[in-house]
Amino acid sequence: MPRNPDSWKSHLRARARDLGFDDIGFTSAAPLAHGDFLRDWLQQGRAGAMSYLSRGPRSNPRDLLEDANTLIVVAAHYSKPRAEPQTIAAYAQREDYHRVMRQGLESLGTVLEELAPGSRWQAVVDTAPLLEREAAQRAGLGWIGKSTMLVHPKLGCYTLLGELLWTAELEPDPPALDQCGTCRQCIDACPTGAIDAEYQLEPRHCLSYLTIEQRDAIPPQFREALGERAFGCDACLAACPFGAERVYEEGDLLPTAIPLRDGSLQELLQSASARFKKTFGWTPVERARKRGFLRGLLTAAGNSGDQSLIPQVKEWSQSEDSLLAEHARWALAKLDASSAPNS
């Protein structure tokens, strides 16, 4: 174990790679600059149903670990799908990343204890109130792109982030510089125009928000834009030219759950109806709950034009759950229209 703090960063980079992380960066635990932006954004009502965003400090890492001096940020790559759209967003086609990332961070935390006995650390995944994309940019892992997603120069947008707050002090890495330039492919690719200005997102129009965070009906004006998506949307990620060459390349940390990637709408509807917890409870899909996922699947069924789905959809149109029955009736109308001559 290296005794010289100057060599700690290289040692931690090697250990992070061993644990399956694709990159790691270091910055100070000083307050993050986007706190005022977040407050204004919340006051505009853009958080919609995401009331949890108003809880916690988010902009000051030391509110999570007093006396923290260093903020360590790690990135884990997950594979870009062969095609977009996917019924289930790529990040959710695998074990819940919160658990996997935390395990890796806790293993890295034991290395911190060995390097600086008596120091303290805390692992943070995105359920904790921390502005992690700004932290990642300040730690040199990438920049916040025009889509508002973090863009890693080699991995693109298909990354998940985790952090370690540490009371020991390390020299910060230089922050990443914005490389978006005049590109606007992510903006043009958004199915609903939710990226309503460069570096600005209207979450209440975002398909990921509508299928995951919102619990009531998907507004009719956005349903066709879903296509066959039922949980999340990768349109802006897939459009980004950075990381484009990493199609279907799997890392060690985040293996793909093959049945979720390749399941048909018919199979997914059956699984969501009959065995939701067993099939999806260990994945991020659980976030939408059974009702929310079925709502998305029924909408996707309507957009698919697949007449073989009519019996399943018709059954849900008679459900006692008014939300699911309404989405099923909408889907049946779409399927009927797609089967009509000259439709």
Angstrom distance (rounded) from CA 216 to CA 120: 43
Strands 70-77 and 23-28: antiparallel
Count Cβ neighbours within 10 Å for each residue of 137-154 and write b for 16 or more, e otherwise: bbbbbbbbbbbbbbbbee
User: Which long-range CB contacts under 8 A does 181-185 form with residues at least 24 apart?
Assistant: 183/146, 183/241, 184/146, 185/239, 185/240, 185/241
**Side chain identity at residue 91, one-letter code:** Y
Indicate the burial class of 324 (C-beta count within 10 angstroms; 0-12, 13-18, 19 or more). buried
Q: Could you give the CA distance from residue 237 to residue 149 in angstroms, rounded to a whole number?
A: 8
159-166/70-77 β-pairing? antiparallel
Q: What φ, ψ does residue 276 adopt, rounded to 5°? A: -60, -50
Q: How far apart are CA 290 and CA 281, in angstroms?
A: 9
SS3 300: helix
Token pair in block for residue 9:
């960063």
Which residues are tagged catalytic? 126
Closest by CA position to 131, among listed 146, 112, 150, 159: 150
In the 8-state DSSP scheme, what is residue 151? E
Tokens 């459900």, residue?
319
- Terminus-to-terminus CA distance in the chain, angstroms? 69
Residues facing residue 160 across a β-bridge: 76
**Cβ–Cβ under 8 Å, residues 316 and 298:** yes
